[in-house]
Amino acid sequence: MSALLEVKNLKKYFDTPKGPLHAVDDVSFKINKGETLGLVGESGCGKSTTGRVVLRLIEPTAGQILFDNEDIMKHQKAQIRKFRENAQIVFQDPFASLNPRMSVSEIIAEPLIINKKSKDKQELQKKVDELMDIVGLAERLAHVYPHELDGGRRQRIGIARALALDPQFIVHDEPVSALDVSIQAQILNLLDELQKERQLTYLFISHDLGVIKHVSNNIAVMYLGKIVEMSDYKSIFTDPKHPYTKALLSAIPVPDVDVKRERIILEGDVPSPISPPPGCRFYGRCYQRQDSCMGTDPKLTEISEGRFVACHKCN
């Protein structure tokens, strides 16, 4: 299966008074057409920045982004506009990402109007009605405003807006983290149905491993701007290799009170992304650290087919 998106050595540094903040530092991955890569990690590790940089909503510091075998880093303004028709984003906060002064139908219609995808008002309204139906929004909600709706319906508006231009690729930036559990399930099922029907490709960003397991074909675990482990979802959950991945998995609640799981408690604080430590960035919190971890930064290495780990002990 061919890759729709391939990211190579992606970096994004933000200038601060204390020096460059290493938000994304030498990240590489690829996503096959019709599949989902789940990107998981603690808050502040660079997940959302990665998603925005991939879409060039934020300009990268360095690296290469190949979309359908085209290097979008070389695209000019007109080419980027065309690329954005094929690559969309659903944001974390379904209220903050919607214009409060626009009705549901106006929000969904906006990308169609900007990109001149309708010949007249009748065709535009027909497309809006179809999109509302696809995402499960009742016709009676067409002229209401975001503040009149609950979080689940607001997120459905964001999904409909992302689908308006019939994209191939969508970045989902924690799309269910602000929703109740029952509503989360509805939205996740909707995203799954849309992916199957339209052969969509997803980059799904979340801190919730339960959600990531449900939606992903492959999973990349991120720590302080770097991917430390990447594999298919079954291998990650049944045989994690990196100490950080093991610690994350040990924190998942077990519904059966009779089942005991060893809880790995990480000591210390996450290092500053402005001055990351030399060597392995997880060294100070790692319960399996060794002397070699302190001096050399471990590279993301393929230890078996499709399994990548950045750890001196695992390599």
pLDDT tens-digit map of 235-262: 999 999 999 999 998 887 777 666 667 7
- Of the candidates 41, 67, 92, the residue with the CA atom closest to the CA atom of residue 226: 41
Of 3-17, 185-199, 279-293, minimum mean pLDDT range: 279-293
Task: Flag whether 226 is in a domain.
Answer: yes
How are strands ordered across the β-sheet holding 21-32? 21-32, 3-14, 62-67, 70-71
Quick check: 312 and 243 in contact, CB under 8 A? Answer: no
- Residue pair 23/13 in contact by the 8 Å Cβ criterion: yes
Contact 154, 94 (CB under 8 A): yes
Q: Report the C-alpha gap between 130 and 122 in whole angstroms.
A: 12
Which has more confidence, 47 or 94? 47
Are the beta carbons of 145 and 64 closer than 8 angstroms?
no
- Specify the pLDDT at position 131: 97
Which tops the pLDDT comparison, 295 or 29? 29
Task: Please say if the pLDDT value at position 2 is more than 90.
Answer: no
pLDDT in tens, 62-80: 999 999 999 999 998 889 9
Whether residue 158 is contained in a domain is answered as no
pLDDT of residue 290: 84
Report which residue type is found at 152: G
Q: Are 225 and 273 in contact (CB under 8 A)?
A: yes
Q: Between the CA of residue 159 and those of 103, 162, 205, 256, 310, what are the distances in Å?
A: 15, 5, 15, 35, 34
Residue 174 CB neighbours (<10 A): 20
pLDDT attached to residue 268: 81
144 lies in some domain: no
| Cα-only R_g, the chain | 21
Considering only residues 217 and 2, tell me which one the structure prediction assigns the higher pLDDT: 217
Looking at the domain assignment, is residue 217 inside a domain?
yes
Domain count, the chain: 1
> What is the predicted pLDDT for the residue at 9?
95
Residue 182's pLDDT is what? 85
Cβ-contact 43, 207 below 8 angstroms: yes
Task: Judge contact between 93 and 44, C-beta under 8 A.
Answer: no
As a whole number of angstroms, the distance between CA 174 and CA 184 comes to 11
pLDDT of residue 95 exceeding 90, the answer is no
Average pLDDT over residues 123-141: 95
Structure tokens at 261: 């799981």
Residue 155 lies inside a defined structural domain of this protein: no
To the nearest 10 degrees (0 to 180), the angle between helices 151-163 and 121-134 is 130
Residue 1: predicted pLDDT: 66
What rounded mean pLDDT belongs to the chain? 91
Question: Residues 266-273: what's their mean pLDDT?
Answer: 86
* Residue 237 maps to a domain: yes
Per-residue pLDDT averaged across 81-89, rounded? Answer: 93
For residues 164-169, give the mean pLDDT: 96
CATH number at residue 16: 3.40.50.300
Q: What is the pLDDT of residues 292-315, one digit of tens each?
A: 888 788 999 999 888 999 998 876
77: in domain: yes
Q: For residues 127 and 116, is the Cβ–Cβ distance under 8 A?
A: no
Q: In which band, very low, low, confident or very high, does the pLDDT at 142 lie, cut at 50, 70 and 90?
A: very high
Phi/psi at 144 (5° precision): -90, 170
Tokens of 21: 């903040």
Does 18 score more than 70 pLDDT?
yes
The set of residues, in sequence order, having a beta carbon less than 8 Å from that of 114 and lying 6+ positions away, is: none
Cα separation values, 310 from 25, 60, 229, 232, Å: 13, 22, 6, 16
Range of the domain at 254: 3-100+169-182+193-309
How confident is the model over 198-210, as a mean pLDDT?
A: 93
Q: What is this structure's pTM?
A: 0.93
- pLDDT above 90: residue 266: no
Q: Which of 19-23, 25-29, 165-169, 274-278 has the lowest mean pLDDT?
A: 274-278
89, part of any domain: yes
> With 70 as the cut, is the pLDDT of residue 164 above it?
yes
Interaxial angle between packed helices 121-134 and 104-114, expressed in degrees from 0 to 180 and rounded to the nearest 10: 120
**Percentage, residues of the chain above pLDDT 90:** 70
